[in-house]
Amino acid sequence: MKSGFVNIFGRPNAGKSTLLNALMGEKLAIVSPKVQTTRHRIKGIITEKEYQVIFSDTPGIIEPKYKLHEKMMQAVKGALEDADVAMLLVDVKEKWEECDAIFTALRLKVPAVVVLNKIDLVSESTIKEAVDYFSSKPYCKKVITISALSGINKKKLINGFLEFLPEGEPFYEGDDISDLNTRFFVSELIREKIYELAQDEIPYHTAVLVREYQEKTTLVKIVADIIVHRETQKAILIGDKGSMIKRIGTEARKDIEAFIQQKVFLELFVKVKPKWRENEMQLREYGY
């Protein structure tokens, strides 16, 4: 039996979350075209007779500007420390030199497989050039090409990592697909709707805290706070006569119901906590 951690690293928007969801056949990581959507390390567990592979989606690698960013980069550091294999994900349309600089700076101590994503958007000659470029790098043991959005060959991709994984007992028992609880995924699905529906900087100034998760006989009652920095942001998120918060709530409820396979009553409140991204205590309360 092979068992181990394949941790995914890359620049913001390389497609890490989309790839994790495609591998799992389940929406574990929220997805948005905006950068810095992923703030936590999210593990997806795939268990078969011959192997258990734990894939980890990590935040995109950035220069930290706030305590929140520092926490995000600590998640990347933690993933570096327990990886058995590193998956280095590259958006093939990006500047390869910049990706190479990031991967070199990781100073990997484990085998790395470079996965070239979004190959459906470039020519065959560009793909060949990218494969040659990364194959020549000292950290790279193998290059695999995929398109996470238009469908991946899951078996082929997992097999590409198995040769580098150690033999051993599974880390997780049973049929769990993640080590995170339902409350976490609920808060992430609400946050995803803010990224989809709110404009400009607002999603980056927002956190979501699930205060109540009660399973009743016919439905699940969920109460959550949306935390923002300023009163002006609160007014925008509530919207004219509550139109925006109603829309966020309706869209989030549909996704939560699909995720937990139960009817949901969702209540959202917007609260102002100035400078929460710099406050250690508040960051801890919001799960960072």
pLDDT of residue 225: 97
- Which has more confidence, 100 or 150? 100
Residue 50 inside a domain? The answer is yes
153 and 196 housed in the same domain: no
pLDDT of residue 188: 94
Question: Residue 256: which pLDDT band, with cuts at 50, 70 and 90?
Answer: very high
- Number of domains observed in the structure of the chain: 2
pLDDT of residue 86: 95
22 and 102 housed in the same domain: yes
Residue 167 inside a domain? The answer is no
- Asked whether residue 233 carries a pLDDT value surpassing 90, the answer given is yes
pLDDT in tens, 154-165: 888 999 999 999
CATH, residue 206: 3.30.300.20
Residue 53 inside a domain? The answer is yes
Nearest to 213 by CA among 185, 233, 235, 194: 185
30 and 157 housed in the same domain: yes
Helices within the chain (DSSP H only): 16-24, 67-82, 96-105, 124-135, 154-162, 182-197, 231-238, 243-260, 280-285
156 and 202 housed in the same domain: no
Mean model confidence pLDDT for the chain: 91
Residue 168 inside a domain? The answer is no
Residue 124 inside a domain? The answer is yes
pLDDT of residue 152: 81
- Which has more confidence, 53 or 174? 53
Q: How far is CA 49 from CA 3, 46, 96, 215, in A?
A: 11, 10, 37, 34
Residue 176 inside a domain? The answer is no
114 and 213 housed in the same domain: no
Q: How far apart are CA 187 and CA 194, in angstroms?
A: 11
Domain boundary residue, one of 162, 190, 210: 162
Question: Residue 26: which pLDDT band, with cuts at 50, 70 and 90?
Answer: confident
Query: Mean of the pLDDT values across residues 162-190?
Result: 91
User: Which residues, other chains included, contact 10 with Cβ-Cβ below 8 Å and sequence gap of 6+?
Assistant: 16, 60, 61, 88, 89, 90, 91, 99, 102
pLDDT of residue 147: 85
189 and 82 housed in the same domain: no
pLDDT of residue 201: 84
158 and 188 housed in the same domain: no
Whether the Cβ atoms of residue 191 and residue 206 lie closer than 8 Å to each other = yes
Q: How far apart are CA 36 and CA 45, in angstroms?
A: 23
- Which has more confidence, 134 or 18? 134
122 and 227 housed in the same domain: no
pLDDT in tens, 31-82: 877 777 888 888 999 999 999 999 998 888 777 788 988 988 888 888 888 8
Give the strands of the sheet with 85-91, arranged side by side: 42-47, 51-57, 2-9, 85-91, 112-117, 140-145
Nearest to 257 by CA among 175, 189, 180: 189
100 and 198 housed in the same domain: no
150 and 269 housed in the same domain: no
76 and 132 housed in the same domain: yes
pLDDT of residue 154: 85
Q: How far apart are CA 161 and CA 105, in angstroms?
A: 22
Question: Residue 12: which pLDDT band, with cuts at 50, 70 and 90?
Answer: confident
Domain boundary residue, one of 162, 190, 207: 162
Q: How far apart are CA 281 and CA 264, in angstroms?
A: 30
Q: How far apart are CA 63 and CA 49, in angstroms?
A: 41
Residue 172 inside a domain? The answer is no
Question: Residue 27: which pLDDT band, with cuts at 50, 70 and 90?
Answer: confident
Q: pTM of the predicted model, to two decimals? A: 0.83
pLDDT of residue 65: 86
pLDDT of residue 168: 94
List 1's β-bridge partners, or say none. Answer: none
pLDDT of residue 137: 96
Residue 225 inside a domain? The answer is yes
pLDDT of residue 59: 81
- Asked whether residue 115 carries a pLDDT value surpassing 80, the answer given is yes
CATH, residue 128: 3.40.50.300
Question: Residue 171: which pLDDT band, with cuts at 50, 70 and 90?
Answer: very high
What range does the domain containing 243 cover? 182-285
260 and 130 housed in the same domain: no
If you write DSSP's letter for every residue of 230-254 in order, what string do you get? SHHHHHHHH-GGGHHHHHHHHHHHH
List 106's β-bridge partners, or say none. Answer: none
- Through-space distance between the first and last CA atoms of the chain, rounded to whole angstroms: 34
Nearest to 103 by CA among 126, 87, 92, 118: 87
Q: How far apart are CA 189 and CA 283, in angstroms?
A: 19
Question: Residue 89: which pLDDT band, with cuts at 50, 70 and 90?
Answer: very high
Domain boundary residue, one of 162, 192, 208: 162
Q: pLDDT over 70 for what percent of the chain?
A: 100
- Asked whether residue 223 carries a pLDDT value surpassing 80, the answer given is yes
CA angle 117, 50, 154 (to 5 degrees): 20
pLDDT of residue 8: 92
